[in-house]
Amino acid sequence: MIPKKRSRIALLIFVFILVLTCLVCSLLLLTHQLKKKYESRLFPHVSINGRDVGGMNKPEVYLLFSDLNKQIQKTTLNLTYDSVIIATLPASLTNIGLNLDAAFDQAYTVGRSPHIPSQAIQTLLTSTGLHQFIFPLSITYTKQPVRDTLSSLVDQYEKQPINAKFQFDSGKVIEFAKEENGLHIQTEKAVRDVDLYFQSLVTYPRSNVIQVQGFVVKPTITLAQTNTYGIEDLLADGVSDYTHSIPQRIHNLLLGTSKFNGVLIPKGATFSFNDTVGDISSSTGYQPAYIIKEGKTVLGDGGGICQVSTTLFRAALLAGLPIVEHHSHAYRVGYYENDSKPGLDATVFGPTVDFKFINNTPASILIQTSSDEENNKLSFKLYGKKDNRVIELSAPIVSDYASAPEPQFQDDPTLKKGVTKQIDFAAAGGRSRYSYKVTLGKEVLFQKDFNIWYQPWRAVFLVGTAD
């Protein structure tokens, strides 16, 4: 019985091997026939990007996708940063198009695998239609124009954070800089976003806008960490425009401004402009320029200092500080109306006419000055510690307008005949009114209604009488 059973098993194995050999030979023969039939063409039941390309050669595949390729090549990509378009990239600039070569070459491997069993199975499946071989279609483009555009954006916007600086010596801050946040442009994310958009054109060709993003980089040292005076915040920035000033006046206002840079005002202290600026005379470097003295416009040492006091006055108002002493000019001066309505000026004339305010903030106040000489702008920045005070400063209302009197001509024996020299300048008179109120919670810290009268001012000319 046992020999008969073994002989039956051996027979079954022989038949199985014979059938398998016939099957493999048939598949190899079929593969050979299909390769010959589809030489340079794709096997049946192969699709690219959802479209049947079985039996097609490469030129036919290119023709099948030509319309899609044309649509893609008409698209435009706009890159924006901070809601502003920074670059427009037409498809022609990036040489964008369908990567049909790669898709065709990948599809062409069906039934042509160097691995014989895989080749036989693929041939069986593709010839019988038991399986659809699906291949994706990708986009090819030149990345350099995108990277060049992002690189220029980095050069324009990206910056490193700046640590705060505060160095106090001999009663004055000699080195100061408030911390500044840096900015990092996320170029690699933008590159990825552009690539995702380009690849999506295979299924949805359209123009698009991609927002380039950046993120803030914090400094490692803040202003609050650099000093023991409680100075942390910018409280206010007072600005004035000194356009049309003569060179001597500009020299004086810049010299006067330098006296205030780095000055610390202790908490609770009353600040005096005259005490801080010191002696104003030729001996301290000031030059003759026009000033108002005894009802006349005359040349005097330090003309232009009132530009400095006016700028500081504006900063004190914006910071919500109580004004202890303030005087306006006798008449309207054009310098102070370059960037403001009449009324926001402050005149000084030591030792009796001063400008004073109180530091009633929670910390010391640091004065930092600067001048934009190209645009004729003077700036007083006040740094300290904010306390949520609310400043209500109304815009000046000008009324009771009065025309300037007729010009006056005076004989001057020191000038030759035929020479005329203007020594005073016409200005219309009027009234300027505005209100100033500072509150902290429910408490009114300071309140004042400014009611300023400007005299009408006549122009005065000297007429030469000397031979």
Give the Cα separation of 71 and 74 in Å (integer). 5
Q: At which residue do the structure tokens 């470097």 appear?
A: 285
Give the Cα separation of 93 and 87 in Å (integer). 12
Q: How confident is the model at residue 121 (pLDDT cuts 50, 70, 90)?
A: confident
Tokens (6 digits) for 167: 């160095």
| E-state strands within 191-282 | 208-212, 214-217, 233-241, 264-265, 270-272
Helix (H, G, I), strand (E, B) or coil at 348: coil
Helix (H, G, I), strand (E, B) or coil at 380: strand
Q: Is the pLDDT of residue 135 over 60?
A: yes
Look at residues 71, 73, 63 and name the one whose alpha carbon lies nearest to residue 96: 73
Domain limits of the chain?
A: 144-217, 228-466
Q: How confident is the model at residue 32 (pLDDT cuts 50, 70, 90)?
A: low
Look at residues 51, 42, 50 and name the one whose alpha carbon lies nearest to residue 109: 42
The answer to whether the Cα torsion of 116, 120, 122, 127 is positive or negative is positive
Q: What is the pLDDT of residue 20?
A: 63
414-429 average pLDDT score: 83
Q: What is the pLDDT of residue 292?
A: 64
Q: Is the pLDDT of residue 293 over 70?
A: no
Give the Cα separation of 305 and 248 in Å (integer). 11
pLDDT digits (tens, 9 = 90+) for 201-252: 999 999 999 999 999 999 999 999 999 999 999 999 999 999 988 888 899 9
pLDDT digits (tens, 9 = 90+) for 343-376: 999 999 888 999 999 999 999 999 999 999 999 9
CB atoms near residue 395 (< 10 Å): 11
Share of the chain above pLDDT 90, in %: 65
Is cis: bond before 351, omega within 30 of 0?
A: yes
The residue length of the chain stands at 467
Q: What is the pLDDT of residue 126?
A: 85
Q: What is the pLDDT of residue 301?
A: 62
52-80 average pLDDT score: 94
Q: Which helix (H) or strand (E) holds 443?
A: strand 443-454
Q: Is the pLDDT of residue 1 over 60?
A: no
pLDDT digits (tens, 9 = 90+) for 254-280: 999 999 999 999 999 999 999 999 999
Q: What is the pLDDT of residue 467?
A: 79
Q: At which residue do the structure tokens 């425009």 appear?
A: 241
Helix (H, G, I), strand (E, B) or coil at 196: helix
pLDDT, averaged across the chain? 89
Q: What is the pLDDT of residue 33?
A: 67
Strand partners, 166: 176
Instruction: Indicate the range of 78-87, 123-132, 447-456 predicted with least confidence.
Output: 123-132
Q: What is the pLDDT of residue 24?
A: 63
Give the Cα separation of 336 and 344 in Å (integer). 7
Look at residues 176, 126, 201, 115 and name the one whose alpha carbon lies nearest to residue 368: 176
